[in-house]
C-alpha cells in the first residue's frame, strides 16, 4: 500500500513571527514540520505497516529548498519526499498551494491514499485538502478521527460536534485527519541518521508543467494591503453583589440581544 502525505514546513511557533514588506510571513529561516501534519505521517506509517508492504511518500511546498521539516517526517519512517521550491510561489494562496501539491502528488508515483491535516498551524484556511481532492478527482473525507483500509475501501470515523459519522469511500481517496487520529512517534536516533540519506526530489513550478503566471503573486486573486495589530482587550466591568446584581447582568445580556 502506498500513501502520499501532504506536509507543511512552518516557522517555529516558539519564535516571534515576522512579516516581509509585502505583509507575508517570513519563511527565510529554518522551518519545522507542522505538528498537525505529524498525525498524518503517523497514520500513513501505521496503515502501511498493517498492509504488510508499501511506502509513505511526503509532498511539500517550501521556499529556499528548505527540508528540515521533511527530514523530521523522514526520520519518523517515511521513505522519500517531493519538495516544490520556487520563487514564483511567493504569495501563493490556498488554491495555488492545492494546484502545486496536486501536480507534485502526480510526481510521487502510484498511490492508494492521500492524507493531509485538516488545516495548517500558520494558515488555518482549512480549504487546501478539499481543493486538492477536487483537482485530483478523488473522493474525500474530512475530519477523520479513525482510518481503516479494507477491500479497496477507506473507512473513516468522521468527527462531528455530536460524536462521529461512519463514512467510507473507494480507493484511491483523500482523507484529512484531526489531531486525535493517532499519537505521533518520536524519531529515533537510528531514524534521524537514516533520514539524512533518504531521497528528497526538489522540483520547480516548471518541472511540474505549471505556468508560473497562475501561481503566487502573479496569479493571486487577492492582495494584502495592510496589517494592523489587534486592539487590546478592554478591562471588563466588575459588579459587586448587593443582592440585586443579577438585574445588571440581565440588562447587559439584553443589550447584547441574547435574551
Q: Look up residue 75 and give its three cell numbers.
A: 526520520
Average pLDDT, stretch 35-50? 96
Which is more confident, 169 or 224?
A: 169
- What letter would DSSP give residue 127? -
Using CA atoms in the order 209, 204, 58, 96, what is the torsion angle rounded to 10 degrees? -70
- pLDDT for residue 98 is more than 80: yes
At 31 the pLDDT is 92
- Whether the CB-CB separation of 58 and 41 falls below 8 Å is answered with yes
Percent of the chain with pLDDT over 70: 100
Confidence label for 245 from pLDDT (cuts 50, 70 and 90): confident
Q: What is the pLDDT of residue 213?
A: 84
Among 255, 218, 210, residue whose Cα is nearest residue 237: 255
At 159, list the grid cell.
Answer: 468527527
Q: How far is CA 41 from CA 181, 230, 249, in A?
A: 11, 35, 49
Half-sphere exposure of 168 (CA within 13 A, CB side): 9
Can you list the domains of the chain with their CATH numbers? Answer: 2-219 (3.40.50.620)
The residue written with cell numbers 517550501 in the block is 62
Whether residue 81 contacts residue 73, with contact meaning beta carbons closer than 8 Å, is answered with: yes
| Local confidence band at 36 (pLDDT 50, 70, 90 cut-offs) | very high
pLDDT for the residue numbered 66: 94
Written as one string, the DSSP assignment of 34-99 is -HHHHHHHHHHHHHHHHHTS-EEEEEEE-GGG--HHHHHHHHHT--EEEEE--GGGTT--HHHHHH
Which pLDDT band, with edges at 50, 70 and 90, does 5 fall under?
A: very high
DSSP state of 19: B
Amino acid at each position: 500500500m502506498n500513501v502520499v502525505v501532504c506536509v507543511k514546513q512552518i516557522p517555529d511557533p516558539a519564535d516571534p513571527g515576522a512579516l516581509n514588506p509585502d505583509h507575508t510571513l517570513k519563511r527565510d529561516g529554518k522551518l519545522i514540520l507542522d505538528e498537525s501534519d505529524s498525525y498524518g505521517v503517523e497514520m500513513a506509517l501505521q496503515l502501511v505497516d498493517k498492509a504488510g508492504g508499501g511506502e509513505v511518500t511526503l509532498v511539500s511546498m517550501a521556499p529556499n529548498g528548505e527540508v528540515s521539516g521533511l527530514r523530521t517526517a523522514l526520520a519518523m519512517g517515511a521513505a522519500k519526499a517531493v519538495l516544490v521550491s520556487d520563487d514564483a510561489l511567493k504569495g501563493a494562496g490556498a488554491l495555488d498551494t492545492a494546484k502545486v501539491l496536486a501536480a507534485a502528488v502526480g510526481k510521487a508515483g502510484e498511490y492508494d491514499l492521500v492524507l493531509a491535516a485538516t488545516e495548517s498551524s500558520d494558515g488555518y484556511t482549512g480549504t487546501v485538502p478539499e481543493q486538492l481532492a477536487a483537482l485530483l478527482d478523488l473522493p474525500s473525507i474530512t475530519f477523520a478521527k479513525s482510518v481503516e483500509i479494507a477491500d479497496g475501501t477507506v473507512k473513516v470515523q468522521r468527527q462531528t460536534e455530536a460524536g462521529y459519522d461512519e463514512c467510507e469511500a473507494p480507493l484511491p481517496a483523500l482523507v484529512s485527519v484531526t489531531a486525535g487520529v493517532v499519537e505521533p512517534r518520536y524519531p529515533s536516533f537510528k531514524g534521524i541518521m537514516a533520514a539524512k540519506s533518504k531521497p528528497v526530489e526538489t522540483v520547480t513550478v516548471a518541472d511540474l508543467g505549471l505556468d508560473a503566471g497562475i501561481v503566487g503573486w502573479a496569479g493571486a486573486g487577492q492582495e494584502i494591503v495592510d496589517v494592523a495589530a489587534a486592539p487590546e482587550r478592554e478591562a471588563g466591568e466588575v459588579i459587586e453583589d448587593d443582592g440585586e446584581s443579577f438585574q445588571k447582568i440581565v440588562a447587559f445580556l439584553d443589550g447584547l440581544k441574547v435574551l
